[in-house]
A and B are shown apart, each in its own frame.
Chain A
Amino acid sequence: MSGLGNIIKKEIKELLTPTTFVPIIIIALIFGTMGSSIQGIQEQALEKPVIGIINADNGTLATITSSILYNNSKPVFNSTSIDDKQIGIETVKQKNGVALIIIPNNFTKQIRNETSGDIEVYWIMKGAGLLDTISSGVLQHLIDYINTNISKELIQENSSVNASFVLTPTKNVETTFFKDREFKGLTPDLIVGMLSSQSFLIPIVIMMIIIMAGSIVITSMALEKENKTLETLLTLPVKRTSIVTGKIIAAATIGLLLAIIYMVGMSYYFQGMQISEGGISLAKYGLALNSQDYLLIGISLFITLIAGLSLCMLLGTFAKNYKSAQTLTFPITMLALIPMFLTMFADYDTLPTALKGVVFAIPFSHPMMAPRALIFDDYLLVLGGIIYVAIFALVMIIIVVWVFNTDRLLTGSTKRRKLKSRNNNFNFIRRR
């Protein structure tokens, strides 16, 4: 065998281990599930929007408006009476629709008088992720199309019509219903924009803490083995639980310190990037966190950090050296990235059930989802998450302490090693 071939064979043999492949296979499966679920969301969004229509005006411009709506959407509610508004909203909600559109009885008359005709839009918002606003975006585009068609109609009828008016003959009067709340004057896009700083900053910071602190713990375990200090440590008069918790607390402290530094930089970055929402105050719409909410986020973050680091400790027990520790940080990175992207692009409530299960099972998801959930008073999700993550952390710590109390930590895969040793024994005798 050539020198090159020999090196390649040895390197492949060294890298071809379950430690390398099992995490990648698991992550590939998770990504597969995510991909098919997100594809489902996108396909759903590309369909015609499901809406309700109340046309209380029998004028020509209202007829144009309603016919465009009928031809380009899936109407699930149809009426000519404004009094049916509430029934319409409920029907659209039940049918998982996007909005109820009301054309008031003076719509045509107002436009003919060169006053903007109101189109009342009652948005039914399902989630605050970027993907959640796709279907409302499709309807928004349709309303713009109505505006253009009415402009055309007005110009065809009377070419001397007021130019500035004819470009925008309609005006949207919008109200958004989201998580049992009514936001007058706000569209789903605007709400998502208002929540975007939380949607981006918090998951990124949490992801960074998990990756940094997790890497510290895994590397620490790997170095204990590589530098042969673990055996000495385990024979000292110190409890296994103290070793495990000591490593976790130290890594959590460093992780939080790094996170604070990171968060300061990121907050400045996002302040610079943030697009003004016209001076709209989040607090005015009750979209702000109070001190109790911050406390719950802090608890969620702390428990998640402990859970994550316990998981890292467990992974660290598999690390043989610094090199294998680098491989083992990969699943942690992925587990932090998955909920980060999901919470950015979709709302937990709007995810398919399978993906909901995956997201809930990943402990890192919970502090990422907590701020938005708390804004909308979804305490069940936050408290449920805290309880789940606390149980996860406890189970992990118990498993790690158990591993520390077994031979596995030192002996690892013993079968091959012992067989080799036995051969050495025979050689020892044979040499003599």
Chain B
Amino acid sequence: MITIEVKNLVKNYGKIEAVKGISFNVNEGEIFGLIGPNGAGKTTVLRIISTLLKINSGSIKIMNYDIEKDSDKIRKIISYLPEDAGAYKNLTGKSYLQFIANFFDNKQNQQMVQRGIEIADLDVRIDDRVDTYSKGMMRRLLVGRALMINPKLAILDEPTSGLDVINAQEIRKLIKNTAQTGTTVLLSSHNMLEVEYLCERIALISEGKIVEEGKPKTLMDKYKANNIEEVFIRVVQQ
């Protein structure tokens, strides 16, 4: 089953065309990566799929819900982790998770909080105020927040951004485990190793266009490249 269906998506900021008619599909339970440099349009695409931005033309369906007509329904089944997201600084980690869980099913929100605490794995620091957290702790809390609701679709913008190697590795494992439970993951990353490790399929995006799409291994073979970074450079220089 297709979780995300993007067709001819165009997004303009005033006169600037940020996304120029891209199309792609993401299957259920798949980890799909959008790869590209800063300003290529990755975050714009993720924000549109997260119902934050409006589209200029084209169409997007999430689990068969239309992004323009059914945004309220879509928000119930997705979870978005922005690249540089923060949490409410006057709350403790646990009360932040509780605050988010309260927007979802009342019957399950305690389970959600418990799951969030487990994913964040902050031990006793979960009861401390968020403004005392390090960057790594904050990111773990936010990943916990994003995944605790068992979303049908997790949209993760640079999920390991700013994390050290050990923390980044743990989060990658978490994402992989989450996908194995049936959650579809759409992520963006600059880290090509991360992409190779995590993503079943990727789309290379440059200047608002998808310039290549496929499985990492297939693309490396196609472009006779040692890694995805080389693939990207060869595709862009063509």
Could you list which residues of chain A lie within 8 angstroms of chain B, going by C-beta atoms?
Answer: 227-229, 231-232, 234-239, 406-407, 410-411, 414-415, 418-425, 428-429, 432
Contacts and interface: CB of A to CB of B under 8 A. Distances in A.
Interface residues of B, number: 39
11 contacts: A229-B86, A231-B47, A234-B51, A237-B76, A237-B104, A407-B54, A415-B14, A418-B18, A428-B38, A429-B37, A429-B237
A195 B103 CA distance: 50
B38 A421 contact: yes
B37 A428 contact: yes
A237 B37 contact: no
B75 A235 contact: yes
Interface string B26-55: 000000000001111000000100111110
Contacts of B79: 235
B16 A231 contact: no
B171 interface: no
A238 B38 CA distance: 31
B207 interface: yes
Given A237-B103, A432-B233, A228 B78 contact: no
B40 A425 contact: yes
Given A236-B103, A415-B14, A425 B86 contact: no
A230 to B, nearest CB: 9
B109 interface: no
A414 B13 contact: yes
A414 B38 CA distance: 15
Contact of A425 (B13, B14, B38, B47): B38
B205 to A, nearest CB: 10
The 4 A-B residue pairs with the shortest CB-CB distance, nearest first, are A421-B39, A428-B37, A414-B13, A227-B86
B39 A415 contact: no
Nearest to A236: B103
B2 interface: no
A232 B85 contact: yes
Contacts of B14: 414-415
Nearest to A406: B54
B164 interface: no
A238 B76 CA distance: 9
A231 B13 contact: no
Given A406-B54, A418-B39, A236 B100 contact: yes
Contact of B16 (A227, A234, A415): A415
B85 A231 contact: yes
B24 interface: no
B233 A239 contact: no
A400 to B, nearest CB: 17
A419 B15 CA distance: 11
A134 B13 CA distance: 59
Nearest to B190: A428
Contacts of A406: 54
